[in-house]
Structure 1
Amino acid sequence: MADFYELLGVGRDASADELQRAYRKLARQYHPDINKDPGAEEKFKQVSEAYDVLSDPAQRKRYDAFGDDFRRVPPDVDPESWARSQRGRRSAPFDAGDIDLEDLFGGMFGGRRGWGPIPGADQEAELELSIVEAYRGGHRRLTIGGRTIEVTIPAGVTDGQRIRLSGEGGRGSGDAPAGDLYLIVRLLPDQRYRVEGRDIYADLPVSPAEAALGARLALDTPGGQVKLRVPGGTSSGKRLRLKGRGLRNGDLYAEVRIILPEKLSDEEHRLYEQLATLERGKSR
């Protein structure tokens, strides 16, 4: 697994703002709706996972302590004992006759003699959400492996983000704790919205008169309807930004789409002819 800091191109002492700026830049670069190169989607998922972990202080602390194993190491393991056990495994040549299982697992599991109770394994499952559900968060009842689980979905989750359910993974042996269950968020396609990283985009239909003269128009967003001021002289394709209305610190962009009437009335036809006469000779 690639190092999360290297994936984002930041140092290990990067601030929250530096992490966010690096993520937004890479999310725009590798988003599969924009980048059609083979491997771009996988890179986008890796970058999203890296940011989701490092932007969470608790997960970042565990990642810094245990590296790629941060999800598998039980919560009561001492980081220094873990590091010593890993150095010993890497430095010694593999020889089954030389392995001391008590030394190998003693530091990892609190010094218990022999095998003892073994914590349960972590598990993963996918959680499909609409963009509106992801924006608002909420509760969902899931049936996984014959068990019904109540899930609290944080507001603003993104595609590829992992939601950790402590103790809902594989069962441990004896009195050992169960593992954790990680739900991987998958955003469903939506005709009204599209998502790039943490930003949401929505089309804003505007008539030619509204675009020319300006108007206040209603726009449905995942968080509810809002009123937008369209400045006079707005061209098709212009983006109007609604700060903070994306997914978890992201923004929403309303993209102006100038819509012509399919059929003109006699009066409209006459007025458009007058407008065309006035526009003749003007530079474009």
Structure 2
Amino acid sequence: MAKNPYTLLGVPKTATDAEIKSAYRKLAKLHHPDVNPGDAKAEEKFKEITAAYNLLSNPDLRASYDSGRVDASGQQQNPFAGGYRQANAQGGMDTGFGGFGGMGGDDMSDLFSSLFGMNMGAGGRTRTQHRRPAPPQQGEDLRYTLKMSLVDALTGGVKDLGKGLKVKFPKGIKDGQTVRLRGKGQPGVNGGPPGDARVKISVQPHKRLSRDGNNLWLDVPISLTEAMKGASLDLDLPTGKVSLKIPAGTNTGKRFRLKGKGVRAKDGTGDVIVTVQIVLTDGELAGASVLSSQLPDGENHDLRRNLI
């Protein structure tokens, strides 16, 4: 007794024509004899799913099956009414309804041509065509990580990755950005173009300089004398030279903003924010005893209030 065609194709009774055809295509590709040479079980499975598809792809047959007028093999339930099943006159594969009789020969030929690159012969036999050459495919991309200092990232330049690969990166490149080297990846397949090399930038931290967007933050040491008397400082930064005037009486932690002296980028130009830190020079340390004798004793300065 023939099996339930819906079960064979793995579709519900409410499946659309497109869903039935899609299910059959997947199963036919899996069980076709050309894919499984010498496998009797696969050939039998292929016959069953093809018979099921022939029944369900024919609107009249499907309606008759759903209403109980024919069984899963296409035979009428009334034994005196004659059946839909017929012998395959050309001797082709018997799939339940005259080989591929459930649908037009041209339709089935088109279906198998799209599945396997075949032409359907008489009675459902297949003739394997010469396969078309595989299409060209682009080669795989290669990925690298390039570590560089913050100064190098701000000034731009060229880095050698080895293997004949050199990376040119622009001024102000950010941590995490990727530079693409076209055509420097794996070679293409079947005449396809080569892939690319993608280089991810990893900017290493600097002990005094940091970046926040297009702004640069810089810690600048000054002597006690400069803090007390004031000074003019010339600073050579990766983004260019700047001048900073320190007023007399400046304390550690004082911040100064230098407008437009930060990173120049398409989305604008940042600033440089300088934080000064007082550091005693050797001469100041040598004269510390004389200096300390001039400082007031017992001053209630409470510098560590709200320390934590």
TM-score by length of 1: 0.50
Cα 1:209–1:275, aligned 2, differ >3 Å: closer, same or farther? farther
> Distance in 2 between the 1:141 and 1:261 partners?
41
**Is 2:191 aligned against 1:175?**
yes
CA contact (8 A) 2:233 2:246 kept: yes
Greater Cα radius of gyration, structure 1 or 2 = 2
> Distance in 2 between the 1:222 and 1:208 partners?
27
State the percentage of identical aligned residues: 34
CA contact (8 A) 2:134 2:190 kept: no
CA contact (8 A) 1:215 1:231 kept: yes
Q: Which SS does the other structure have where 1:97 is aligned?
A: helix
| Residue 245 of structure 1: aligned partner | 262
Counterpart residue type for residue 136 of structure 2: P
Counterpart residue type for residue 263 of structure 2: G
Matches within 5 A, 1:95-134: 97=26, 115-134=134-153
| Residue 172 of structure 2: aligned partner | 156
**Is 2:201 aligned against 1:185?**
yes
CA contact (8 A) 1:140 1:151 kept: yes
**Is 2:252 aligned against 1:236?**
yes
> Distance in 2 between the 1:121 and 1:280 partners?
72
Structure with bigger helix share is 1
Instruction: Tell me the alpha carbon deviations over residues 250-272 of structure 1, each in whole angstroms, 9 at most, x when there is no partner.
Output: 43322110123466445x64455
CA contact (8 A) 1:172 1:178 kept: yes
**Is 2:160 aligned against 1:141?**
yes
Q: Which SS does the other structure have where 1:209 is aligned?
A: helix
**Is 2:285 aligned against 1:259?**
no
Deviation at 1:273, TM superposition (A): 3.9
> Distance in 2 between the 1:181 and 1:251 partners?
34
Q: Which SS does the other structure have where 1:176 is aligned?
A: coil
Q: Which SS does the other structure have where 2:151 is aligned?
A: helix
Matches within 5 A, 1:1-284: 97=26, 115-143=134-162, 147-223=163-239, 225-242=241-258, 243-246=260-263, 248=265, 249-261=269-281, 264-266=285-287, 269-274=289-294, 276=296
CA contact (8 A) 2:239 2:261 kept: no
RMSD between aligned residues: 3.7
Q: How many residues align?
A: 177
> Distance in 1 between the 2:169 and 2:147 partners?
11
> Distance in 1 between the 2:272 and 2:181 partners?
29
CA contact (8 A) 1:119 1:173 kept: yes
CA contact (8 A) 2:175 2:202 kept: yes
Q: Which SS does the other structure have where 2:152 is aligned?
A: helix
Counterpart residue type for residue 125 of structure 1: Y
> Distance in 1 between the 2:271 and 2:199 partners?
25
Instruction: Tell me the alpha carbon deviations over residues 172-214 of structure 1, each in whole angstroms, 9 at most, x when there is no partner.
Output: 2233222222110011233342334443332211123322332
Q: Which SS does the other structure have where 1:116 is aligned?
A: coil
Deviation at 1:282, TM superposition (A): 8.9
Deviation at 1:160, TM superposition (A): 0.5
Cα 1:260–1:221, aligned 2, differ >3 Å: closer, same or farther? same
- More displaced 10-residue stretch of structure 1: 204-213 or 113-122: 113-122
Q: Which SS does the other structure have where 1:236 is aligned?
A: coil
> Distance in 2 between the 1:151 and 1:176 partners?
24
Q: Which runs of 5+ in 2 are unaligned?
A: 1-18, 30-110, 115-131, 304-308
| Residue 81 of structure 1: aligned partner | none
CA contact (8 A) 1:122 1:169 kept: yes
Deviation at 1:217, TM superposition (A): 1.6
> Distance in 2 between the 1:134 and 1:195 partners?
11
Counterpart residue type for residue 177 of structure 1: P
TM-score by length of 2: 0.47
Q: Which SS does the other structure have where 1:133 is aligned?
A: helix
